[in-house]
Structure formats: structure tokens, C-alpha cells
Structure 1
């Protein structure tokens, strides 16, 4: 439900409005990119299938009733398929069974790739900022260009990033994410105030994949 909400037209329009509101106060160029997943995680599905197949084999070997020998390969193979299919169909289970480190690495890698693919480094002052959301992993990665001094943005910036992450990780609605996005404006305005001749160089509408 959370993923679907982020991809509907209302959410896309809201994201564009939030970007415009931030850029009205700062020279930073913010781009929101929402992806359904940052990795394939097939190994998790295969692991679930393997465990279920193993349980099936042990049950057939040690339960008191007898099973015809020719049923063993069929039932074990079927159990593997069922386990892998169930894992793939239940994102919450798949995510819970995948290591947190791998989830984070995949999102970080995908965010940096999106930063390049979307041309965010091409702004005049190198002040582009990618807010990358990966809905399966329930994670957000913020990638600033070299013209954004994150050290100068300070604690207020770090707190805004933490709230963004918490909103994506815990909420069933994109609204808390938008509320957290608004917190980016204040530290960016302080460090990168908008000039009178500022030109919007990157699209405000979110990128979705």
C-alpha cells in the first residue's frame, strides 16, 4: 500500500509542490526519485524455498506415515517453488529475511547511479540534491552535489535527514515524508540562499522507476 501511494498522481503532484517550495527559498536544486526496489533479492526467495524444501524432506522421512519413494523429488521440488514464490509475493517477509546491510548498500548504490543518470551534477553551481526513495527497502538516500556543504548545514540538516529516513521506514503514507522534506528548506536557505536571478535547472516533478 505504501509503495502504491507513492506512485499515484496525487503523490507525484505533492512531491513537485514540496520541491518548488524548497527551491523558492534556496539556490539548491532538489530532485525526488522514487524506485520500487534497488535490488532483485532472488537469493532470499531461494533461501526460503530451500528451507521449505528441507522441512518437507525431513517431514517425509520421519513422519510415521509412509510416503511413496517417487513422491520425494516431486514434493521437495514443489515445496521449493512454493517457498520462493511466497517470498517474492510478500515484500515484508522478503525484506525481513534480507540483511539490513545489503538493503542499505543496494539503496546507496542505486541512489548514486540515479544521481548520474538524472544529470543532477550538471547545475551551474553544482548545488543539486537527490532525494532517492526505494519503497521495497523502505529507505531514503540523500545525495548532495559538491556545491552543497553538508558540514555547514549542521545539526538541523542531520535531523531533517533522520526524519526523512524515519518517515520512509515506518509510515504507511507518504505524507510524513513530505512533512520531513519541508525541514530541508531551512538549513539549505541558511547556507545556500536563493538569489534574485536564480534559474530552475532541474525538473520539479519526481522521477519514478
Structure 2
């Protein structure tokens, strides 16, 4: 799992990059970075249930093996009763469930086993929620843009306000996203954010050039969650 480490110099560079981009445009850029966008505890629970059902399927498919295993444990002295067999099965299933759930408490493993589509949906959901809370409709011209980085999932989102989405679709941000994620994977998240901000600023400048009435409506700083 990627760990986010921003130095004071990185934070200063991000702030400077936002200020420089906004100096050329009426757009406003908000940069948010977080270690992970979701706990994914439900994913761990799903795996635990899946392992338990797999154990049930194995026992159902090969019941003779269960009898053999129980007889080995008892030394072959007694034939196990149905009550004893069902109790053992219950214990085995419970052990499988709890053991898997315990292993999935380790976040790097949980993240590694979480499907990519699930990560993508939850990163997007968190980014949209943060954008609505911090940037949407916070600018007079509806020209706010959020650059959101979620390091644990190695994913990012760029979300624009109403006026921005009318002139810039997802393809406009492709280069900014590529630069951001490449630098994050290389262990340089500060460089990645600066590069993404510069490219987003270029798009905003082409569609919303600076006017005399523009004011700074969103703080020019990196927000770390």
C-alpha cells in the first residue's frame, strides 16, 4: 500500500502551483489527499463468509472424509454420533469464519483482496461527497475543480463544478490523472499533485481566462485527510 508523505516543501509547492494556476483563470482548484477512502471492513466480512461456505461445500461433497478425520482424532475407538459430528462441523465452520475475519483485519491484505471495481466506486463516492461539501457551488461562476488522491487504492478523481463539466469531460483530465498517479507510484506524491494542478490549470485557463472581477474563493492549500 502506498503511504502518503508530504514534506513542508511539498505543501508549499502545491499551494504555489494552485495559486499560479488560478492566476491564469477564473477557475478555483481544491486539492485533497488521503491515505484511503474507505475501511473496506465489509469486504473482509464477505471473504470470511465465503471461506465458511467453501468449507461447508467441501464437507457436503466429501462427508466420508469428515468421518475419517473424526475417527483419527478419537483413535478409532468409537463411532461418532450425529450430535458429535454436527458439533464438530459447527466448530470447524466457526473457526474458518473467525480465522479469515481476523486475517482480514490487516488493512494491506484487505486492500489487496478488494476488487478494483469496488475501490473505484468508493474512491469516486468519497471524492463526490468531499466535492459537494467543500467546493460545489462555492464559486460564483461554478468553476471549482477538485483533485482528489486516494493513495491506498492508487486512484484519483478530478471533479468539476457545473460550468466546468459543460466544457470539459473526463478526457480533458486524462493527462493530469496520468501524471499524478505515475508520480505517486514512484513515491513522489507532491510532484504528482503539482503536475496535475498545472495541467488542470491549463484546461481552466483555456476555457475560463482570468478576468478583473475574479476573486480567490477557495484556499490555495493542500488538504490532507
Check whether TM > 0.5.
yes
Task: Give the corresponding residue for 1:129.
Answer: 145
Question: What is the TM-score when the length of structure 2 is the normalising length?
Answer: 0.71
Q: Who is 1:41 aligned against?
A: 40
Q: CA deviation at 1:123?
A: 0.8
| Distance in 2 (alpha carbons) for counterparts of 1:43 and 1:154 | 30
2:113 match: 97
Q: CA deviation at 1:98?
A: 1.8
Q: Does the C-alpha gap of structure 1 residues 66 and 117 become closer, same or farther in structure 2, counting only changes over 3 Å?
A: farther
Task: Please give the alpha-carbon distance, in whole angstroms, between the structure 2 residues aligned to 1:16 and 1:194.
Answer: 18
Q: Match of 2:2?
A: 2
Query: Which one has a bigger Cα radius of gyration?
Result: 2
**Cα offset, 1:75, TM superposition:** 6.5
**How much does 1:154 deviate?**
9.2
**Separation in 2 of the partners of 1:102 and 1:18?**
32
Residue 30 of structure 2 aligns to a residue whose secondary structure is: strand
- 3-state SS, counterpart of residue 179 of structure 1: helix
TM-score, length of structure 1 as denominator length? 0.76
Residues matched between the structures, number: 206
**1:12 match:** 11
Which secondary structure does the structure 2 equivalent of 1:132 belong to?
strand
- Within the alignment, does 1:203 sit opposite 2:203 as a pair? no
Deviation at 1:100, TM superposition (A): 2.0
Give yes or no for contact 2:25–2:208 (8 Å, CA) kept in 1: yes
Report if aligned partners of 1:5, 1:11 keep a CA contact under 8 Å in 2: no
* Mapping for residues 1-209 of structure 1, pairs under 5 Å: 2-6=2-6, 9-50=8-49, 61=66, 66-67=72-73, 77-91=94-108, 93-149=109-165, 151=167, 157-168=173-184, 170-174=185-189, 175-209=191-225
In structure 2, distance between residues paired with 1:167 and 1:50: 37
Are the aligned partners of 2:4 and 2:151 in contact in 1 as well (CA < 8 Å)? no
8 Å CA contact retained: 1:15, 1:206: yes
Contact 2:173-2:200 at 8 Å conserved across structures: yes
**Higher RCO, 1 vs 2 (CA within 8 Å, ≥6 residues apart):** 2
- 150-159 or 79-88, larger mean C-alpha shift: 150-159
TM-aligned CA deviation for residue 177 of structure 1 = 3.7
Contact persistence 2:176–2:195 (CA under 8 A) = no
